[in-house]
């Protein structure tokens, strides 16, 4: 197994986010016209350690970062919904850690809690980090698609109606 590249689950998440939430984008890169949002899309493999020099699941290609602009209500709600659903399904999906905004979850501390690492809080206000186990990183679990689809729908339902019109989003009542 080559752990120095993106693993299948990472590519799968990128594909699903690209289809369900094109606002996020499917490429990892810079957005220069969106303040407080240095990247877009879904990031994955990165040959690096954590800010404190520790192990990073990104260095094995089994962690993904789903970038969202938290100043955008829909994308903030989407990040909240994804965090909630990934945390609720951690056992089935082999999720080892989640970081989003000021919240964290890990298999070592298996309940949603305030992220105790102040640096990580600032680092995760513009993206949701999902770390998968080595075994799960080799799969394309169908539950991931359901989580993403349901999270998109939940985020759309949480938006005020005037924003639906601006985005061209139709409610289920039309």
**Residue 109, strand partner residues:** 106
The answer as to whether 26 is a domain residue is yes
Quick: pLDDT tens for 107-163. 877 766 565 555 544 566 678 899 999 999 999 999 999 999 999 999 999 876 555
Please count the structural domains in the chain: 1
**Residue 174 domain-assigned (yes or no):** no
Q: How many CB atoms lie within 10 A of CB 139?
A: 16
More confident residue, 25 or 18: 18
3 within some domain: no
Whether residue 173 lies inside any domain: the answer is no
User: 172 in a domain, yes or no?
Assistant: no
Residue 1 lies in a domain: no
Domain contains 137: yes
pTM, two decimals, is: 0.79
User: Mind listing the pLDDT tens digit for each residue in 47-79?
Assistant: 777 777 777 888 888 999 888 877 778 888 999
Pairing verdict, β 63-67 and 109-114? unpaired
Nearest residue to 154 (alpha-carbon basis) of 73, 40, 63: 73
Which pLDDT value is given to residue 114? 62
Q: Buried b vs exposed e over 86-97: b needs ≥16 C-beta within 10 Å? A: bbebbeebbbbb
pLDDT of 117 reads 59
Which range of residues forms the domain containing residue 150? 8-167
Best mean pLDDT range from 1-5, 95-99, 157-161 = 95-99
For residue 66, being part of any structural domain is answered with: yes
């Amino acid at each position: 197994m080559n752990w120095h590249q993106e693993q299948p689950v990472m590519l799968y998440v990128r594909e699903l986010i690209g289809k369900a939430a094109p606002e996020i984008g499917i490429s990892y890169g810079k957005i220069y016209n969106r303040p407080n949002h240095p990247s877009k899309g879904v990031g994955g493999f990165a040959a690096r350690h954590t800010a404190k020099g520790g192990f990073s699941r990104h260095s094995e290609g089994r962690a993904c970062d789903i970038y969202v602009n938290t100043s955008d209500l829909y994308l903030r709600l989407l990040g909240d919904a994804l965090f909630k659903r990934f945390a609720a399904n951690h056992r089935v999906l082999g999720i080892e850690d989640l970081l989003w905004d000021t919240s964290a979850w890990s298999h070592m501390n298996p309940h949603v809690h305030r992220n105790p690492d102040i640096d990580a809080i600032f680092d995760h206000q513009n993206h949701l980090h999902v770390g998968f186990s080595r075994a799960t990183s080799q799969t394309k679990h169908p539950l991931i698609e359901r989580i993403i689809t349901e999270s998109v729908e939940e985020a759309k339902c949480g938006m005020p109606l005037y924003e639906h019109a601006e985005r061209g989003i139709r409610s289920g009542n039309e």
